[in-house]
Amino acid sequence: MKYVIIGNATAAIGTVEGIRSVDKYGEIVLISSEPHFTYGRPLISYLLLGKTTEEKMNYRPRDFYEANNVTAMLGRTVTSIDKNAKAVVLENGDKVSYDKLAICTGSRPFVPPMEGLDTVEAQTPFMTLDDAHRLAGLLGDQKDKDVLIIGAGLIGLKCAEGILHLSKSLTIVDMAPRILPNVLDEYGSSFLQSYLEGLGMKFYLSDSVAKFSTPNHAIFKSGMELDFDVLVVAVGVRPNTGLAEEIGCEVNRGILVDTHSATTVPDIYAAGDCTVSHDIAADTDRILAILPNAYLQGEAAGVNMAGGDKVFDQAFPMNASGFLGLHMITAGSYDGEEFVTKTETSYKKLVVRDNKLVGFILIGDVDRGGIYTSLIRDQVPLDTIDFDLIRQHPQLMAFAKAERAKKLAQPH
């Protein structure tokens, strides 16, 4: 059996490990347009911050490809898939045949139309290791650059965290009325924004850039004008679905897959940020571009490609982040009955619906967040546990004895 995987990030690595859990000897070819060894993309902000190194960013040990007998074709781009010949076509016309194919193509930066954007030379997105290198080069080491970041979502804020200490000033603009609108509720956004403003970041919300009148001058829709030296466009991402769409895979914003990570085209699977998952917390189908889901979906793809049987049906949104000393974990849906605790340094919200925990926000004090996450993932009925105790002091003692024994027996 010959397996081809397009991609080299979390979902692709999950696919390799899924295949090898079933098939120790089949040929695996991994093709990635990025030239780098597999690395943790969320760590690029910490690289700029000086909290990690490129070696420490490796997602797996350096001998990963060799140890798993993987032929890694790095710095090569798949331009099309010939599903009839069962081969992928590379940028130079070469073909690589497959018996089973996994599309783990992730996403790309979304750049909205802005007049004059093409005249701005000192600009970059912020998604890849190469983007981080470019940004570091644009900033230099003199701390004399005024930076404008378009986008106050996770990518924009993580970029801001990484370069605040390298910038003379840092301004973030977003059309949304608050920061992290897809991750936090209104109070959580306000809490985090106040913290970041205290560190020197400036925010202009419910606003956007109308045009760049010169390569270093932005005019906002509100009429405000701003000079800058470096521009980061971090508005959002779009799934890379083109290869799948061209061969007839069903696509609705992302590639549609079943619980075995199979697409609608035989012998072709997909996983990660390019796919649509069923969100068990909100009971809806949507793109969930987060690492744990990408890995588990990739692992399921690999197992099933190799003839095993693995289901991934526990997807839900989850983010664990830190912003310059302030830690945060969020998960699930915020639609339901709320249990809220606020202090000067922390914010906690648990959301309950239909006798189950469906979501939570922890900012500041994030201890025991894993307990809440497991309650959502396992869809534990709350009347089978001491939820009052868990709300105040999450700990295993709140679970019924049999459930506690089961959890303690699980590998961590």
Chain segment 125-172, per-residue pLDDT in tens = 999 999 999 999 999 999 999 999 999 999 999 999 999 999 999 999
Going by DSSP bridges, is the β-strand pair 2-6/100-103 parallel, antiparallel, or unpaired?
parallel
Average pLDDT rounded to a whole number, residues 34-47: 96
Q: How are strands ordered across the β-sheet holding 225-227?
A: 209-214, 217-220, 225-227
DSSP H helical segments within 106-178, as ranges? 129-139, 154-163
Query: What does the pLDDT average to over 390-402?
Result: 64
Amino acid at 337: E
Mean pLDDT for 248-270 is 97
Expressed in percent and rounded to 5, the helix, strand and coil fractions of the chain are 30, 30, 40
Dihedrals phi, psi of 219, to nearest 5 degrees: -115, 120
- Domain residue ranges of the chain, discontinuous segments joined by +: 2-108+238-305, 117-235, 327-409
| Selection from 321, 366, 324, 365 nearest residue 345 by Cα | 365
Residue 401, pLDDT score:
55
Q: What is the pLDDT of residue 338?
A: 96
Cα–Cα distance, 197 to 313 (Å, whole number): 39
Given this model, what pLDDT does residue 232 score? 98
Determine contact, residues 29/4, Cβ cutoff 8 Å: yes
Span 322-347, pLDDT tens digits: 999 999 999 999 999 999 999 999 99
Residue 255, φ and ψ in degrees, nearest 5 = -70, 130
Q: How distant, in Å, are the alpha carbons of 3, 148, 192, 237, 256 from that of 300?
A: 14, 41, 36, 24, 15
Which position has the higher pLDDT, 20 or 398? 20
Query: What tokens does 194 get?
Result: 């106040």
Cα Rg for the chain, rounded, in angstroms?
A: 22
What share of the chain has pLDDT > 90, as a percent?
Answer: 88
* Locus of tokens 């890849």: 128
CA dist., res. 86 & res. 108, Å (int)? 26
Instruction: Report whether pLDDT(63) > 70.
Output: yes
CB 323 within 8 A of CB 156: no
Measured distance between the N- and C-terminal CA atoms of the chain, rounded to whole angstroms:
33
The pLDDT value recorded for residue 391 is 83
Q: What is the mean pLDDT of residues 309-329?
A: 93
| All residues at 6 or more sequence positions from 56 whose CB lies less than 8 Å from its CB, including other chains | 43
Which segments of 39-120 does DSSP mark as H helices, in order? 44-49, 64-67
SS3 338: strand
Classified by CATH at the fold level, domain 327-409 comes out as: Enolase-like; domain 1 (3.30.390)
- Average the pLDDT over 310-315 and give the result: 94
pLDDT of 400 strictly over 80:
no
CATH class label, 2-108+238-305: alpha beta
82: which residues sit within 8 A by CB, 6+ positions away? 88, 89, 95
Say which residues have a Cβ less than 8 Å from residue 121's Cβ, sequence separation at least 6: 215
* Calpha distance 36→47 (Å, rounded): 15
Q: Using alpha carbons only, what angle is made at residue 74 by residues 70 and 78, rounded to the nearest 5 degrees?
A: 100
The fourth-level CATH superfamily of domain 117-235 is FAD/NAD(P)-binding domain (3.50.50.60)
Residue 408 has pLDDT above 70, yes or no: no
Report d(CA 81, CA 103) in Å as an integer: 10
* 250-270 burial: b if 16+ Cβ within 10 Å, else e: ebeebbbbebbbbbebeebbb
In the numeric block, the tokens 């189908």 are attached to: 285
Half-sphere exposure of 29 (CA within 13 A, CB side): 18
d(CA 326, CA 201): 15
φ/ψ of 176, rounded to 5, equals -70, 155
pLDDT digits (tens, 9 = 90+) for 180-201: 999 999 999 999 999 999 999 9
What six digits make up the tokens of 85?
Answer: 């010949």
**Beta-bridge mates of residue 319:** 330
Encode pLDDT of 222-232 as tens digits.
999 999 999 99
Contact 222, 207 (CB under 8 A): yes
Q: What is the reported pLDDT for 86?
A: 98
Average pLDDT over residues 397-412: 54
Average pLDDT over residues 73-96: 98
Q: How many CA atoms lie less than 13 Å away from 209 in the CB half-sphere?
A: 31
Half-sphere exposure of 191 (CA within 13 A, CB side): 22
Higher pLDDT, 367 or 31: 31
Per-residue confidence (pLDDT) for residue 393, from 0 to 100: 74
- Predicted pLDDT at 412: 42
pLDDT band at residue 396 using 50, 70 and 90 as cut-offs: low
Mode of pairing for the β-strands spanning 356-363 and 326-332: antiparallel
> What's the whole-number average pLDDT of the chain?
94
Same fold, 2-108+238-305 and 327-409: no
% the chain with pLDDT above 70? 95
Nearest 5°: the CA angle 299, 305, 266 is: 125
Task: Give CA torsion, residues 308, 377, 288, 206, to 10 deg.
Answer: 180
